[in-house]
Copies of this chain bind each other. A is one copy, B any other.
Amino acid sequence: MRRHNLALVMHHISQQGPTSRARIASALGLTKATVSTLADELLRAGLLVELAPEPSPGVGRRGQPLALNPEGPSGIGLEINVDHVTVCLMDLTGTVRHEDVLRADNRGRSPRQVLADSAPLVRRALELGRADGLDVMGLEVAVPGIVASDTGRLLRAPNLGWSDVGLGTLLPQVLDLPGLRVGVGNEADLAALGELWFGGGAAWGDFIHVSGEVGVGAGLVFGHRLFRGAHGYAGEFGHMTVQRRGPLCRCGARGCLEVFAGQEAILRAAGLAHVPGTRHGGPPGSVTALRTLVQQGEPRALQAVEGAGEKLGIALSGLVNVLDPDTVVLGGLYAVLAPWLVRPLTRELEHRLVVERDVDALVRVSRLPGDAAARGAAGAVVRRLIAEPPTDRGPQGRRDGGGTTG
């Protein structure tokens, strides 16, 4: 009961912003004495802070608003993707305190190698957190693959060439931080949650967030919640068929969306693939090069992007017809290329949607094109801290100097 009430108070403040004990008591139907006891415990644990009293006469100490502690426990999100690694340090209030990106071609490299490359980024985030008085309580990894919802094992990440990897145990080993609490989630799911929590959010209603990366994934948000499917594998959008006898996809089937509108397909069509004819996401900087070319109106690059927009529009039409969302959000590469991608995409939607829609209102561009997944991952840690406030952290709120033992 006490734990439940602690979580209620944390949740209320996270939703409403700074507010007084009296208002919390009234909103939650608790007595002021109960709220004061709970607040004292959360203050002692460094989860809340008291702000300066509101400037209204006759209000005593109890009138000091309570706020989430921006120097309290925090979380790290780590997106490991095919051509980049992104780290994000987020405090309890949801503010990004530090972010870093490593551009790299991770294909064909082992999980241990990629984690070793990522380690300096994670260590730097931990150090910066420590310098800011933040206590990193956990880390969530976003990966472009199928994650078992029960064990957290990465079952398969075809575009990385990985299968059956226990990232949750491997990462603390590589970092030499055995106590670090590591969760693992699907990149497209966490990107959609990032958008829900820190991007377009509730205003987008029911939305489908499409992550354009080397792989193409979707995160489905219905009723402000991530739709995970019966086994946690929902959102594998990249292998929707666009042309049943089309080009062969890495998955073994023909004509999947990904062979037309995945990052490597677009780069190859634009003449920017590193090694022509091979399956390759392109060297670091290829996306920037592509963007420059389409900005300059280079015909081959433009055609590549517009062709991808058309195929994406075909696949999205099928999904919008079946799922009837309020909004479709273009994320990742598609957000970067949106100025050239959106027109051919909406043309297909107008042509193929069974129920007439204002497709310009239907299609939106991500507010977090570069880091939705890393933010969603960090946000997942922070939201767990709010749902299960770690009040046993002690008065300093820190049990060791480096990582966590959560």
Q: Is the interface of A mostly helix, strand, loop or mixed?
A: loop
Decide: A355 and B241 in contact? CB cutoff 8 A: no
Known: A206-B229, A232-B324; 8 extra A-B contacts, CB below 8 A, are: A146-B355, A155-B355, A229-B323, A230-B324, A231-B355, A233-B355, A241-B352, A244-B311
Decide: A218 and B351 in contact? CB cutoff 8 A: no
A375: interface (CB < 8 Å): no
- 0/1 string, A231-249, CB within 8 A of B gives 1: 1111111011111110000
Hey, which chain B residues are within 8 Å of A220, CB to CB? Answer: 322
Separation of A234 and B355 alpha carbons in the complex (Å): 10
Closest Cβ–Cβ distance, residue A154 to chain B (whole Å): 13
Separation of A167 and B244 alpha carbons in the complex (Å): 39
Q: Which of A55-63, A100-108, A312-320 contacts B (4 or more CB under 8 A)?
A: A312-320
**Could you tell me how many residues of chain A have their Cβ less than 8 Å away from some Cβ of chain B?**
46
Separation of A233 and B400 alpha carbons in the complex (Å): 54
A30: interface (CB < 8 Å): no
Hey, which chain B residues are within 8 Å of A155, CB to CB? Answer: 355
The 7 closest A-B pairs by CB, nearest first: A229-B324, A240-B318, A236-B321, A234-B324, A233-B324, A236-B354, A206-B230
Where the two chains meet, the residues of A that have a C-beta atom closer than 8 Å to any C-beta of B are 146, 155-156, 205-206, 218, 220, 222, 227-237, 239-245, 251-253, 256, 311, 314-315, 317-319, 321-326, 351-352, 354-355
Closest to A240 in B: B318
Closest to A220 in B: B322
